[in-house]
Amino acid sequence: MFTKVLIANRGEIAVRIIRACHELGIQTVAVYSEADREALHTQLATQAICIGPAKASDSYLNMTSILSAAVVTGAQAIHPGFGFLSENSAFATMCEEMNIRFIGPSSTIIDLMGNKANARKTMIAAGVPVTPGSEGYISSYEEAVAQAEKIGYPVILKAAAGGGGKGMRKVYQENGLEAAFSQAKAEAKAAFGDDRMYLEKIITPARHIEVQILGDSFGNVVHLGERDCSLQRNHQKVLEESPSTFITETTRKAMGDVAIRAAKHVGYTNAGTIEFLVDAEQRFYFMEMNTRIQVEHPVTEMATGIDIVKEQLRIASGEPLSFTQDDVAITGHTIECRINAENPALGFRPSSGKIDYLFLPSGGNGLRVESAMYGGYMIPPFYDSMIAKIITKGDDRSEAIAKMRRALQELVIEGVDTNQFFQEDILQDPNFISGDYDTEYLQNVFLKTWAPEVEERV
C-alpha cells in the first residue's frame, strides 16, 4: 500500500479521498489554488502545497505544477478525483513516465474510452449495443446532414472528446442542424481543445442508467449495480438513485453482464462507470464510459456497503479486489441530491461569497453528507457550483425520500444562494414520487410549471 498520496482536486471530493487515505494509514498531500488557500481539504491533509493562481488552467489543470508537488513531497501516487485532470490521458502518461501511480486506468484506456467516437467502435467490437449513429467523426455540416438523414431525426450532436454535457446539441429537424453544428463545435473547442463531432439518434423517452464497475490488475471485474441518473437539467445530473425502479430484473442482469464484458474487453482496471440509455421497451444502449470516480459514487457505496475510493487505492497499489461478484448485494433504496451554489429562480445563476451560517443535517440512520463547507468559508467564483451532496438510504424508496426531505428541511446555508428548495420541490413532485420520469422530464415538464416561492421557507 502507498504511504503518501497526492489529491489533484479540490472541494468535497478532495475531502472524501483524504478521509479514505487517512483511514488506511496513508499520508496525504493537498494541492490548492490561491483562491482555495483556506479550503477544508488543505486543512485536513497531511501537507498542502499551492500550485498556482485561482484560474483552473493555472492551477488544478497545471500538470507540471501538480507533478512537481508530488515529487517535492515524495507522493507515490496521485488521485485525480473527478473533473479537472481525471480523464486526461496526457496527465496519466506523465505520471507513468515519472513512476508516480495514477489512481485510475492506464493512459491507453483513458485515451481509448475518452474519445466517444472511438469508444463506440470499441463497444461495437465487444458486442455491446450502441445507439444508431455516425461511423467515425463528422467533419462538415454537409456530412452531418447526410448522416442525420440516414439515421433519422431527432439526433444529438456530441463532442468526440466531450463530457459533462458540453459540446452537445439536440436537433429535431434539418432546419436546426446548421446552427447546432456550429455551436456544438465551438463549445467543444473551447471546453476540450478538440472540435471533432459525431452524431447519434436520440432515444426518447429514455432513462439514463449507469453501471458502476471495479477491475483489478489480475483480470477480475465486478459491477456494483446501477444508478438511475435520469433527472437532469442541460445534460447535468441533479438527483440520482439506486436501484432503478424502471428496469426489470432481466434488464438489470443483462446490463451488469454487458458492463463486465465491456470492461474486460478493454482490460479495464480501477473504478469506472458505463452509461446506458434504456428505452420504453427495456432495450439499452451504450452511451459512454467514465474512466474515473463519479460524483454520485456515494449512492452505490450506501447501497452496497462497499467503499469505492478505498478499493481504488488498493487496486492502484497492486492488490486484488477484496470481494467477488457474489459478495455484492444492493439493499434498500438510496437517493442523492446535489446541492449547488446557484439560484434556480434566476435561471440557475451561480452564486459565490461567504457562508455566514451553516448547519448540515446529521443524525438518524441512513444519512450521509459530503461537503467541504464550513461557517465563514468563502465560496470562490472560479469553479463548479456543487458544494455538497446529501445521500439517504431507506428500507424502500418511500423511506429514502422521506429521509431526504427531512435532511433538506434541516439544511441551513446562509450567505449564498443554493438549489436546496428546488430539490425539495422535486421530492414533492407526484411524478417523481411515482417514479414516472425520464431524461426529458425535468427540463421539458417540471421546469415548465415550476414556480419558486418568493418567501423564505423555514
pLDDT at 121 exceeding the cut of 50: yes
The catalytic residues are 292
CATH class of 4-103: alpha beta
84 — phi, psi (to 5°)?
A: 45, -115
Domain definitions of the chain by residue range: 4-103, 132-201, 206-449
Residue with cell 449495443: 129
When pLDDT is cut at 50, 70 and 90, the band that residue 455 belongs to is very low
Domain 206-449: give its CATH architecture.
Answer: 2-Layer Sandwich (3.30)
In 3D space, the residue among 122, 148, 124 whose CA is nearest the CA of residue 134 turns out to be: 148
The widest CA-to-CA distance across the chain, in whole angstroms, is 60
When pLDDT is cut at 50, 70 and 90, the band that residue 136 belongs to is confident
Mean pLDDT, to the nearest integer, of 426-450?
97
> Using CA of residue 154, residue 157, residue 162, residue 166, what is the dihedral sign?
negative
**So what's the pLDDT on residue 383?**
97
pLDDT at 99 exceeding the cut of 90: yes
Mean pLDDT, to the nearest integer, of 1-23?
99
**So what's the pLDDT on residue 457?**
47
**So what's the pLDDT on residue 161?**
81
Residue 443 is given by DSSP the state I
CB 231, CB 441: distance < 8 Å: yes
**So what's the pLDDT on residue 135?**
80
pLDDT at 52 exceeding the cut of 80: yes
Kindly report the pTM of this predicted structure. 0.94
In 3D space, the residue among 103, 110, 79, 72 whose CA is nearest the CA of residue 8 turns out to be: 79
Which string of DSSP letters, residue by residue, matches 406-434? HHHHH-EEESS--SHHHHHHHHH-HHHHH
When pLDDT is cut at 50, 70 and 90, the band that residue 458 belongs to is very low
pLDDT at 303 exceeding the cut of 90: yes
**Which is the CATH superfamily of the domain at 132-201?**
ATP-grasp fold, A domain (3.30.1490.20)
Residue 51 is given by DSSP the state E
Measure the CA–CA gap between 244 and 335, rounded to whole angstroms.
10
When pLDDT is cut at 50, 70 and 90, the band that residue 452 belongs to is confident
Q: What is the pLDDT of residues 246-292, one digit of tens each?
A: 999 999 999 999 999 999 999 999 999 999 999 999 999 999 999 99
CB neighbour list of residue 151: distance below 8 Å, 6 or more residues apart: 132, 133, 134, 199, 200, 201
CB neighbour list of residue 194: distance below 8 Å, 6 or more residues apart: 159, 160, 161, 188
Measure the CA–CA gap between 257 and 122, rounded to whole angstroms.
17
Share of the chain above pLDDT 70, in %: 98
pLDDT at 193 exceeding the cut of 90: no
